[in-house]
Amino acid sequence: MTSIPDGIADTSHPDRVYAVVENGDSAVGVEDVSTSWRRCLSELGIEPGGHEAPRILTGQELKVVRGPVDELIEAAEEENDRLAAIVGKVGYAVLFTSSNGVVVDFRGDATRADELKHWGIWLGAMWSEDLEGTNGIGTCIAEQRPITVHRTQHFRTRHTSLSCCGAPVFGPDGKIVAVLDVTSIDPGISDRSHALALMVTIDSARAIEEGLFRRNFRSVWNLAVAVPARIGQVLMLAVDDDQRIVGADRNARAILGLDDRLLASGVSLWTFFERSASFFRTRSDDVAVQLTRIGDVQPWRALITPPAKGVTSTRLALRHVQPRIGQMDHIFKEGASLQSGARPALDAHHRSALSPREQSILELIGQGQSNKEIARQLHISPETVKSHIKNVFSKLGVERRAQAIHQANQLGLVTTP
């Protein structure tokens, strides 16, 4: 068995770190991580030349860490699979971590397991900044922003052959709950590829955030509102039947000045926007509208999702929790209500009949059951359920659960309500 080298043998890297931190030397390519370098050396006391491997939790220790975030892991599963399908083709592994930097979910090349474990790119690895210095996970948590740490931008010499992109995942209350990271152990990864990897990682993290928000506030109205002065920025609000704001994501809190105190007071949506209660009359589908912020002449595009509470259609209930911010431009361009998950008619290849097992699993998905619940009911493992679901998605030509139910209903493959 060939030995795995301990990274790039760059004895000058610690000197470079000290020069930047202690002497204030400017160094091309480390501007975005220089603050982290200073924090690691001056506050955390980490040795840049150290070669100790990242600590990986035992199975029992990992079980304890994963317990409180099981639902979060499951909620992010589909998006993590989608991201892995994209970046895995160019050699990246996908890491999903707890809010303190422990890898709780992982997707990577199984044939390179020994290498990945050596570098700490594995389940249970601990990547907080106070342990490993500047890196795509720990620094993302410390600074609460997306970050790319490419090769020698890492603080520790041992990590200078790694390329990491980390994006924070904020919960419905605006606090960080996880980090989504893609990491390559290929020292030859290009700057351009790495920049693209960061972009898709950020998009996936935002989709997970939106899904978490919608799950948490499924019993009330959800608004996805595009901020006109900030291209690509969308805020999420949850309002009750009286249009009082009962939930606000991190963007909404920052842009509208919302906090827990205001939310608890029952602040009205119309405190910020001109009243138009007619937007909240439909109960069957998403509606694309334009809000007018008080004192602002430029319209704010919004997508309003009715409550899932009391909805008898499984398809509509599932639709509520599916991310769709990425579809907003298309929705407003078409000038129509969102048909979440709609696709062109399936060709003959995708009309392959589902197996009896796949049909059973799809019907249980339609009942809102999780992978674990399906596994228990059918007396199979969650991994087997996951494998069947991937096959179902492939046959139906879809990427998400709500889309699968919708397509299967259209084709008469299942009889969910």
Rounded distance between C-alpha atoms, residue 156 and residue 182, angstroms:
18
- Per residue in 264-300, pLDDT (tens digit) is 999 999 999 999 888 888 777 788 899 999 988 888 9
Selection from 165, 245, 176 nearest residue 208 by Cα? 176
Selection from 282, 285, 288, 284 nearest residue 300 by Cα? 288
Rounded distance between C-alpha atoms, residue 324 and residue 275, angstroms:
25
What is the predicted pLDDT for the residue at 351? 37
Rounded distance between C-alpha atoms, residue 121 and residue 54, angstroms:
9
On whether the 13-214 domain is CATH 3.30.1490.100, my answer is no
CATH class of domain segment(s) 348-411 = mainly alpha
What is the predicted pLDDT for the residue at 393? 81
Kindly state the tokens that stand for 98. Answer: 């707890």
What is the predicted pLDDT for the residue at 115? 94
- Sorted by sequence, the CB contacts under 8 Å of residue 21 that are 6+ apart come out as 34, 37, 38, 41, 42
Rg, the chain, Cα only: 23
Residues of the chain with pLDDT under 70: 1-11, 25-28, 310-319, 329-353, 406-417
Which ranges in the chain are annotated with CATH 3.30.450.40? 13-214
Which ranges in the chain are annotated with CATH 1.10.10.10? 348-411
- Sorted by sequence, the CB contacts under 8 Å of residue 359 that are 6+ apart come out as 413, 414
Instruction: Determine the CATH number of domain 217-334.
Output: 3.30.450
What is the predicted pLDDT for the residue at 30? 85
Kindly state the tokens that stand for 358. Answer: 């796949």
